[in-house]
């Protein structure tokens, strides 16, 4: 956990590493955290919006509509068929009573962001993840980075879409958010040969 008022930057997971982690967590019967990581990385939601999800909103649906807490912006999100199956599988294993919040602790309260971050740090250590700063925000960054990486020749269009999804005021902010600015600067130096 970071010190109060300190500024740490969350990093993103490699997409394949994230998929492997989701499967390992499920196999190890850590269904809630497996589902949290899956939803965070596939939907790019902030942790406050993930914590507010209820089973009735995400079960057996092809898309969800949420109003983001921070921006009050409405988002419609398509549900990937494999993710839809993972949601059903986790629901069956968790077996919640009634339709309640998805991410509920054993004490029947919604997990706090601080608790989720502690759990993610424990997962980083246990599963020896190749990521420096792993927190709830890493899930959103993993989503953004994968959308950008999959864009190929259309990287400019991917940045425009991500700028809209993340509600950034300009593409420069989105590039900085995804860590692209630093990589572009490093590439400029790497081009020089002696």
Q: How long is the chain? A: 194
What range defines the domain where residue 173 resides?
151-190
Q: pLDDT grade, residue 53 (50/70/90)?
A: very high
The string of DSSP codes covering 1-45 is: -PPTT---------HHHHHHHHHHHHHTT-HHHHHHHHHHHHH--
Looking at the domain assignment, is residue 87 inside a domain?
yes
pLDDT at 98: 67
Q: Are 72 and 99 within one domain?
A: yes
| Nearest-angstrom CA–CA distance, 119 and 136 | 10
Asked whether residue 181 carries a pLDDT value surpassing 90, the answer given is: no
Lowest mean pLDDT among 12-16, 29-33, 155-159: 155-159
Q: Are 160 and 131 within one domain?
A: no
First to last CA, the chain: 43
Q: Are 100 and 164 within one domain?
A: no
Reported pTM: 0.87
Q: Are 122 and 39 within one domain?
A: yes
Please give the mean pLDDT across all residues of the chain: 90
**More reliable by pLDDT, 151 or 189:** 151
The helix/strand/coil state of 104 is strand
Looking at the domain assignment, is residue 90 inside a domain?
yes
User: Tens of pLDDT along 114-157?
Assistant: 999 999 999 999 999 999 999 999 999 999 999 999 887 788 88
Q: What does R_g of the chain's alpha carbons equal in angstroms?
A: 17
Q: Are 130 and 185 within one domain?
A: no
Cα–Cα nearest to 33, from 48, 15, 51, 49: 51
User: Tens of pLDDT along 71-80?
Assistant: 898 999 999 9
| Nearest-angstrom CA–CA distance, 83 and 73 | 24
Name the domain boundary from 135, 159, 181: 135
Helix (H) or strand (E) holding 56: helix 55-58
Split into its structural domains, the chain has a count of 2
């Amino acid at each position: 956990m970071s010190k109060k008022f300190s500024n740490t930057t969350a990093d993103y997971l490699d997409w394949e590493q994230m998929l492997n982690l989701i499967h390992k967590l499920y196999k190890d019967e850590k269904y809630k955290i497996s589902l949290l990581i899956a939803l965070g990385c596939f939907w790019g939601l902030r942790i406050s919006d993930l914590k507010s999800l209820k089973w009735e909103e995400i079960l057996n649906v092809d898309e969800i509509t949420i109003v983001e807490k921070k921006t009050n912006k409405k988002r419609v999100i398509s549900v990937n068929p494999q993710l839809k199956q993972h949601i059903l599988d986790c629901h069956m294993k968790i077996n919640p009573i009634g339709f309640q919040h998805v991410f509920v602790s054993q004490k029947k309260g919604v997990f706090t962001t601080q608790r989720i971050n502690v759990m993610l740090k424990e997962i980083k250590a246990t599963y020896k993840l190749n990521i420096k700063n792993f927190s709830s925000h890493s899930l959103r960054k993993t989503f953004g980075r994968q959308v950008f990486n999959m864009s190929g020749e259309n990287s400019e269009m991917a940045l425009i879409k991500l700028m809209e999804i993340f509600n950034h005021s300009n593409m420069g902010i989105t590039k900085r958010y995804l860590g692209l600015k630093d990589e572009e600067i490093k590439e400029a130096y790497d081009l020089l040969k002696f």
